[in-house]
Amino acid sequence: MKKVYRHHRATKMVFYYLLGVLAGVLGMISMARIIWHSKFYPNVVIGSVTVGGMKRTEAREELEKFIANNKISLVYNGFRWELPLTALPINMDESLNGAYRVGRRLDLRDYALVFVSRPTTYPLVINEGATDSYNKLYEEIAALIEIPEVQAEVKIDKGKLSVTNGSDGIGIDSSKLESMIKNQVEELNTNEITIPTKALIAQLREEEKDAILKRANVLQSKSLSLTLEDTRIKLEGKELISFLSTKPGSELVVDFEKIAEYTEGLATSMNRGSVDAKFSYSEGKVTEFAPSKDGIKVKVDETSKLLEESIKNLTETEDKSKTVEIVVERTAPLVTIDKVNELGIEERIGRGESYYAHSIPNRIFNVGLASERINSALIGPGEEVSFNKLVGEVSAATGYRSAYIISQGRTVLGDGGGLCQVSTTLFRAAMNAGLPILERWGHSYRVSYYELNSKPGIDATVIAPAKKFRFNNETQRHILIQTINDPKELHLVIEIYGTSDGRVATISEPKVWGVTPPLPTVYQDDPSLLAGTTKQVDWSAPGARASFEYKVVRGGETLQDQTFSTVYRPWAAVYLRGTGQ
């Protein structure tokens, strides 16, 4: 019994002893909390600055003083730059807050601060990013140290391709440098840092040059078209080759960065806000018209990926061309065209375009005047459209200028030169709308303007009063003719608006045969040009026969099935030869 009693007594003593120790420890911790209230715990260090026992304001002053008076030396090959600590994005508040929490957390290591006299270091907090002062110093250092690499380049000389090798460069290893600076600043260590550099490899191995040259040779004869609504941008072989990757050690065929940069440029020129429709109608005439348009924002990344994939495909297949639809995000207009009129003009049903590069100033003027005269023409259901009537009398008295026309096998000055540009464009728009063509005459000679971005034979000449261009509004609603003339780009667009009745028009690929060589070059004296100067006003064209088929169907019913044929006589290049003083 005595042994059991003694055992219980010993256990009690141990229990009370431990309880006393625990009470003492808790008492000391509580006392420490009271003593160091609003102060940093003893032996707390931020970086290398001891702030233990200080109030927050005192600690901030010490840190700011240290930061203001210290720099880190950056050295490279005998050069030295001083980086003030003030040029770094130091987060003073977060540094102080973090250090102040030491001793106040539920962490046994914090409780040990009460009993163990050893420093507890809290790192100085550095924000992400860089200050303007740091960037300025970095640029100064980079200008002295860095040698840019020169990428290899595919060159074309007289149709022959070659690859000029690149040259290696030297660059600062910026991420490593930032890490080294951060590590030292966290500890407020001001030892000098040797600036780390890295090789910028740009030289190609022979097998890499051969692979790039092979791809370039494949692309040289190929093309790629980018399309969006009525816009079509054609990239030829030279432009496709410029997108090839020439980076060494890369398995990439195409350089995505180059493509993305190109697509960014497209986006800048193509992005637009939505446009509400406008329509005013008075006394049988349209006085104001503007079709509604969706807002467009090019999706650069998606379009770039499609472009990259298509170019790569062209290098690996026998395909001669590819078409990429530009990916866009659309914003619908608030007011659409069908909401602003009761004439049945709801949408665009036809479009034609032509180019007139190399035109003389008076011809450019006449194209603009004639397109203005037919603009906003409103045609009722079942009515005939006569181009000649729409433009009215063509003479100097009605505003037309003298420009070169074809008359009796010669290029001569005549009022209204350029009207055929407009009649040809309207012919194309009427066919695109699927409307019946009542009268159309082809030119006697192949005219260069009408084969810009078009095949031979899709033209319509007018010579009052003998030759007219006429078509019929076969729809059950009104149609509206709109012209968009760009005299800077020398580009004419004619659009026809109405209500679609489901008809679909197709134009076959023009057939060209019986080609004969052009006639010898013709020189004509012109007193308006200085003697000794020449000016080309017509371009040689071979004679030929051309035809194409025009077919319109609706719900299985054939509405139009026409063949347009033209016989072109050979034509000579014509130069004006100056005789003036």
Which tens digit of pLDDT belongs to each residue from 493-516? 999 999 999 999 999 999 999 999
Query: Whole-angstrom Cα distance, residue 403 to residue 317?
Result: 49
How many CB atoms within 10 Å of residue 76? 16
Say which DSSP state 461 is in: B
The predicted pLDDT at position 24 comes to 46
Q: Tell me, what amino acid is at 219?
A: L
Query: Whole-angstrom Cα distance, residue 181 to residue 82?
Result: 12
How many CB atoms within 10 Å of residue 349? 24
CATH classification (class only), 209-341: alpha beta
pLDDT band at 108 (very low <50, low <70, confident <90, very high): low
Query: Looking at residues 457-481, what average pLDDT do you find?
Result: 93
Name the residue among 411, 426, 438 with its Cα closest to residue 524. 411
Say which DSSP state 40 is in: P
Residue 60 has pLDDT above 80, yes or no: yes
Task: Encode pLDDT of 224-269 as tens digits.
Answer: 999 999 899 999 999 999 999 999 987 788 999 999 999 999 999 9
Query: Whole-angstrom Cα distance, residue 418 to residue 410?
Result: 16
User: Strands 479-486, 470-472: parallel, antiparallel or unpaired by DSSP?
Assistant: unpaired
DSSP track, 166-226? -B-EEEE-HHHHHHHHHHHHHTT----EEPPEEEE--PPPHHHHHHHHHHHHHHTT-EEEE
User: What is the token pair recorded at 32?
Assistant: 């420490």
Query: Looking at residues 68-88, what average pLDDT do you find?
Result: 91
Q: Strand, helix or coil at 244?
A: strand
Question: Phi, psi (5° rounding) for residue 379?
Answer: -115, 125
- Name every residue whose Cβ is closer than 8 Å to that of residue 351 and which is 6 or more positions away in sequence: 230, 429, 432, 493, 494, 495, 496
CB burial string 132-154: b at 16+ within 10 A, e below: eebeebbeebeeeeeeebebbeb
Residue 33 has pLDDT above 90, yes or no: no
User: What is the token pair recorded at 483?
Assistant: 């012209």
Query: Whole-angstrom Cα distance, residue 155 to residue 153?
Result: 6
Task: Encode pLDDT of 529-559 as tens digits.
Answer: 999 999 887 778 899 999 999 999 999 999 9
Query: Looking at residues 82-107, what average pLDDT do you find?
Result: 83
CA count, 13 A, side-chain hemisphere, 255: 18
Q: Strand, helix or coil at 489?
A: coil
Q: Strand, helix or coil at 476?
A: coil
The predicted pLDDT at position 432 comes to 98
Question: Residue 336 to residues 90, 340, 347, 480: CA-CA distances in angstroms?
Answer: 56, 7, 9, 16
Name the residue among 426, 438, 431, 409 with its Cα closest to residue 519. 409
